[in-house]
Amino acid sequence: MHMHKFEKIWLIFGITCLIFFLSVVGVSAFYLGNKPPSCLTTVNSEKVDKTKPFDKPGLHKVEGKDWDYELVYVAQAFSYNPAQVKVPLGAKVRVIATTKDVVHGFEVAGTNINMMLEPGYVSEYTTTFDKAGEYLIVCNEYCGAGHHLMSSKIEVVE
C-alpha cells in the first residue's frame, strides 16, 4: 500500500501524541497516585445528622490510620458546622465533608484544598497544616441568597 509522505508524518505525529498523553495519564494515576475525588462514598443526605462521622462534626484524633486527625464538616445553606476549629501545627488531617441540602463549595483559602460538596456524596482530602495561622473556608459554588455569607475558619496553632 502506498502512503503519501505527509500522511505518514501525520500518522506518526498522531500516534506519538496518543502515546504521550496516555503515558501522562498513566504516570499520574499509577506512579503519582492521583485519582478523582472520592465520589464512591455516599451518604443519605436526609440522614446526615444521624450518620457517622457526620453526627459529630469537628476535629477528632484517630488511631491506626494514615492520618492523625479527622476533621468532619457538615455544610448547609448558609453555614458550615463547625464554624471554627483549632488544628495542631504539623498534624496530618483527613478532611471529610458533605452537604445536607444543595451543592456547596469547600475551599480553604491559601491552600490547595478545594472540594465540591454534593448532596448524597462524601468529599475527602488529606493534608498537613505546616504553617500556623488562620485559614478561611469559603463556599465557591453559588448556593442561594446567603452564598456570600457562607464561611468557616481553621486556626492552626502550635
Residue ranges that bind ligand CUA, judged by CB under 6 A = 78, 104-105, 139, 141-143, 147, 150
Quote the cell numbers at residue 158: 502550635
| Nearer of residues 94 and 100 to ligand CUA, judged by Cβ | 100
Min CB(117)–ligand CUA separation in Å: 8
Distance from C-alpha of 92 to C-alpha of 124, rounded to nearest angstrom: 13
| Nearer of residues 76 and 156 to ligand CUA, judged by Cβ | 76
Beta bridge partners of 62: none
| Nearer of residues 75 and 156 to ligand CUA, judged by Cβ | 75
Distance from C-alpha of 109 to C-alpha of 120, rounded to nearest angstrom: 25
Min CB(116)–ligand CUA separation in Å: 10
Cell 483559602 appears where?
109
